[in-house]
């Protein structure tokens, strides 16, 4: 609500140093705050998760678009501070006139509270390490209407500034959780969600099923050849960007599904694979009645 009337003009002030320090994982852990950079991410945070946003730092000569975000923030208890261009440059190279400081604890979601409706899709990523990839897959999961994203095992921090930028706001649209591997499979079992592995290799004796065949059968029995309740939710688990999933994880998955490559390309990258797999499943379930004819 309140706009601080004094323009912050000292790039060496403690406050400015504290905000700039949120680029570091250690500092984020210690102070429980994180940085949201740039108009797109800040706008989506203010719009969808005003409860998360504590402070807004707006460059004094900001564009009308940025001013609009500042205005929108006034419906909530968000503190606005105007800063000089020099101060903003010290805070972030990717501000484009605006950053926000968020409360990390407010981003936490307990697995128990997750709403996973009939037919819902949950996107899970095992050991995704690159911040840009993590953001891209969260955005793809959002576009596909996933109920949640689960970062499994040792993944990049979902509050890494580069991850947030790469989500293009999607971090504030859907719940993003982190879990250990055992915890993830236990969670899926408790929610009666079969886990499908997205993987091109499979394990000895278990060739992956091709995605087009899986899609073609989805409309008929809801779970493809395995045939269970058509409206059961499911989780799709993707592997590390370089190494994929390991046999131990694959063995625990109900099905293994691969995206076919029709040309000479060796593979699709993680972001593209996630988008193709999740959007295909979403499109087939949304066109369910048509696919079944």
User: Could you list the residues that contact its own copies (CB under 8 A)?
Assistant: 48, 136, 139-146, 168-170, 173-174, 211-213, 215-217, 259-268, 271-272, 275-276, 279-280, 282-284, 286-287, 290-291, 293
Q: Least Å distance between CB 200 and its own copies?
A: 12
Q: Least Å distance between CB 6 and its own copies?
A: 35
* Residue nearer to its own copies on the CB measure, 91 or 200: 200
* Residue nearer to its own copies on the CB measure, 16 or 175: 175
Say how far apart CA 103 and CA 122 lie, in whole Å: 25
Q: Least Å distance between CB 28 and its own copies?
A: 25
* Residue nearer to its own copies on the CB measure, 80 or 134: 134
* Residue nearer to its own copies on the CB measure, 150 or 211: 211
Q: Least Å distance between CB 280 and its own copies?
A: 6
* Residue nearer to its own copies on the CB measure, 82 or 169: 169
- Give which of 91, 85, 88 is closest to 22, Cα–Cα: 91
Q: Least Å distance between CB 216 and its own copies?
A: 4
Q: Least Å distance between CB 51 and its own copies?
A: 16
* Residue nearer to its own copies on the CB measure, 27 or 272: 272
């Amino acid at each position: 609500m309140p706009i601080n009337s004094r323009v912050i003009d000292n790039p060496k002030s403690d406050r400015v140093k504290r905000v700039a320090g949120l680029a570091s994982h250690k500092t984020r852990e210690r102070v429980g705050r994180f940085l949201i950079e740039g108009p797109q991410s800040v706008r989506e945070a203010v719009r969808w998760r005003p409860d998360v946003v504590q402070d807004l730092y707006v460059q004094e000569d900001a564009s009308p678009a940025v001013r609009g975000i500042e205005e929108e923030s006034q419906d909530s208890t968000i503190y606005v501070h105007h800063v000089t261009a020099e101060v903003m440059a010290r805070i972030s190279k990717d501000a484009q006139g605006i950053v926000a400081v968020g409360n990390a604890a407010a981003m936490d979601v307990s697995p128990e509270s997750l709403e996973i409706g009939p037919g819902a899709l949950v996107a899970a990523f095992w050991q995704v390490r690159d911040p840009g990839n993590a953001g891209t897959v969260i955005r793809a999961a959002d576009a596909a209407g996933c109920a949640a994203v689960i970062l499994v095992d040792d993944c990049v921090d979902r509050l890494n500034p580069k991850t947030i930028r790469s989500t293009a706001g999607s971090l504030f649209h859907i719940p993003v959780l982190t879990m250990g591997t055992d915890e993830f499979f236990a969670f899926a079992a408790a929610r009666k969600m079969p886990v499908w592995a997205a993987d091109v290799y499979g394990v000895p004796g278990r060739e992956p099923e091709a995605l087009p065949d899986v899609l073609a059968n989805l409309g008929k029995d809801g779970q493809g050849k395995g045939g269970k309740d058509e409206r059961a939710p499911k989780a799709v688990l993707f592997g590390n960007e370089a190494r994929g999933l390991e046999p131990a994880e694959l063995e625990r998955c109900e099905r293994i599904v691969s995206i076919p490559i029709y040309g000479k390309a060796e593979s699709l990258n993680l972001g593209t694979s996630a988008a193709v797999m999740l959007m295909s499943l979403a499109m087939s379930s949304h066109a369910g009645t048509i696919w079944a004819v």
